[in-house]
Structure 1
Amino acid sequence: MVQPTNEELLKTPLYQAHVDAGAKMVPFAGYDMPVQYPLGVKKEHLHTRDAAGLFDVSHMGQLLLRGEGAAAFMESLVPVDVLGLEVGKQRYAFFTNEKGGIEDDLMIANLGEALFVVVNAACKAQDIAHIERHLPQGVELEVIEDRALLALQGPKAAQVLARFAPSVADMVFMDVVKVELEGVECIVSRSGYTGEDGYEISVPADSAAALAAALTAEDEVEWIGLGARDSLRLECGLCLYGHDLDTTTTPIEASLLWAIQPVRRKGGEREGGFPGADIVLDQIVTKDVVRKRVGLVGQTKAPVREGAELFDAEGNKIGFVTSGTAGPNAGKPVSMGYIETSFAVIGTEVFAEVRGKKLPMTVEKMPFVPQRYYRG
């Protein structure tokens, strides 16, 4: 895909704040985004794990679905339980295609009067088109164009945000509420993409810079860029769409069975009814897939990056790496990738080809560092 020129790149409402903070800006999903700040990627990563980091994720798509049939409609596009989603709760989901492949992963929240849906930036246009193509009478889609999205992540995120709205301290993982921050109504969920406790905050675009300035003025908070966002999510075993998930990969191959509730599986009250259901539900029962997403830990100090091919001890190609990092908190190189199912057993030794050398790696359980979501 040809990257747009700087003139064509979209800017989030926080663009100037990033420039003022000394960010290195790069093209990402059609936007001019901060990849790092003067602190540097590794220190930003460690700061988020130790204190609190603020991320601009305004490039993501924010949507509202209204109407009595909105939840049932979403269940026709995703294999998760949307009808059973309580008001004030959100859930991880993914759009599937007719072959059971994943078209995008997303978050669905029940605000009561509407479903609030957040989709990936790179898939935003296709996701909106997908929803519009299937939209039934009585269900209305609103594409939100006038809100930014901030993520405050880390073990000190709750104490920081509670200074602005004490009630957020009572939220638990995957709660979502409307709350006033700095005099404006925000949609706040206790969730994120780092494996840490934290919040995602949908804020009116014209108030985003002021809220970000107030948050980063707190001693515990630093701006964090895309570089550290990637290494943080990978250490905690979280997938990045377009890398660890794609249209040819089913949820079962991707080790995402946990996200398909029993009510949508075979024998469940609302079994199937989503694109590719026959394939996905059969794979759940038979476990008959040729490859699986696994965690990989390097036995040397060299990071093994996306694209590296994986081999068995006899030199047969058995898979490939989809994400890799030096693992600042794991203390060792960590990767994830897809390998033939017979090798997807914890403790199996495989070999990654890096610059012509075969580096030993071990299949290990993810996450590589503990997830620290606040569950009460």
Structure 2
Amino acid sequence: MGSEGHGPPSDKPDSGYDFAMLLFAIALTIPLIVANGVIIIHRKRNYFRALGGVGFIVATSVAGIVWIAVNFVTNLHFTRRGILNQCSLWTFWLQLPLGCCLWMSLIYLRLYRLYLLSTKPDCTSIRKPWWFYLLLLLLPAIIFSTIGTICKASSRNLEPNQNCQLTGTWKYVTYITLPPLYISLIVQLLFRLRKQTDFLLMSERRHTSESSMMAFMFYLLDAIVFVSDKQSNIAGRCFLTFCVCWLVFMDFWVRLWKPVYLCLFKAESEMKKFEDELRWCGAGFFDKVNVATVLRYTTRSISIPSNQLHDGDWVLRTMDLLFSETAEREEQIQVLEQQKSRLSLKMKELEESLCILGRSSTETGSQKFM
């Protein structure tokens, strides 16, 4: 959340600390943009598809960048002129529905998608209209921002270097409603996932738990700085913006630094080896995503209108449909063969380990007998 207020002359915006904070954020944003570009290029990798696909990952990064940019405005790091003076736009709409709340909603949806994949054996749950669920999650923030805009809850005085201020009880209502609501939704989902055994889901649950704990701690620190009226100081506003930067960038890199590094600097075989290692550790979502990709095509019946029975092109149309059906079946067979080969390798390893254990026990028995 951004601060609303102004400070003494010594804490005016456009200071050297504010520019240093801006350079710090830009220096961290550039690698984030490059990493998202790498993910878009390698979007067909099973690892990125299992985490929700390129749409979820890139949208979360965009929401985080918007949230960081809004903090530079609402915390008055720089003098507000022109469109930056639109208090309701920055205080409510860009900070809440398109920034903080969108970022947390996308994290919730990504984890909820993995939860559905773990509880739906047919893997058809990835066909859900995620934009509809996202709209439902953002509905409280949209309603809150609409009411705040109508009531002119964020206003600006005519004094120079005066930041937008939340009027009346709005400055308290804003802090005690939306952030706890979205954090509690994520915590409730984490509680439901506590007994899951898939390695990838457990890793995502652990990373989300760490991000949620950091978000809650920063929320409490934000409230303390706000109540103590320290957000108008240089140290206070830089601290609040730094917390948001740390939360957004850490959440991204903890999850994705290794696959991005492998896709960017290593051969394709290294990324495949990384995915295979996760499979051996118990990450079964790769196979589920492959099967779901095949199952998303519904079986199409071939019907030829009677008025086209004598046309010369109906044969070509029928062959085209048959070839497409054959390609889909071949893809499904290939996925099943890959699963069969992995199971065969596991059985072979188990047999070898049993043979080794049998030999050791036989030798031990022989030594005792002698």
What is the TM-score with the length of structure 2 in the denominator? Answer: 0.24
Higher Cα Rg, which structure: 2
Structure with greater proportional helix content? 2
Structure with greater proportional strand content? 1
What is the TM-score with the length of structure 1 in the denominator? Answer: 0.24
Structure with the greater relative contact order (CA < 8 A, sep ≥ 6): 1 or 2?
A: 2
